[in-house]
Amino acid sequence: MDSHLSAQHRKTLAAVFERPTRANVRWREAVGLVRALGAEITEGRGSRVRFALNGRRAVFHRPHPRPEMVKGAVEALRDFLTEAGAAL
């Protein structure tokens, strides 16, 4: 699954699945990972960003003012990737 991912994408994927959940996963890196996995990413209203991958959809809020995702968002991303078949 991850043979086409760069070293940075693999590092981000590992960070998303790390337990306990990390609070320092950068949004930009998470978006790059999801894009590298083949997801369709569309901008919604305000800070909403929609991800679609392997028939699964999720809506995330772009973090602000800090670039890192909160733990709840990392957990939601982990669940989305698992449901989409892109887990470790």
pLDDT band at 3 (very low <50, low <70, confident <90, very high): low
Q: What's the pLDDT tens digit per position in 11-60?
A: 999 999 999 999 999 999 999 999 999 999 999 999 999 999 999 999 99
β-sheet with 56-61: strand ranges across: 40-43, 48-53, 56-61
Q: pTM here?
A: 0.92
Q: Taking the domains of the chain in order of start, what are their residue ranges? A: 7-83
* pLDDT reading at 79 higher than 90: yes
Q: Top-level CATH class of 7-83?
A: alpha beta
CB 84 within 8 A of CB 54: yes
* 1, pLDDT greater than 90: no
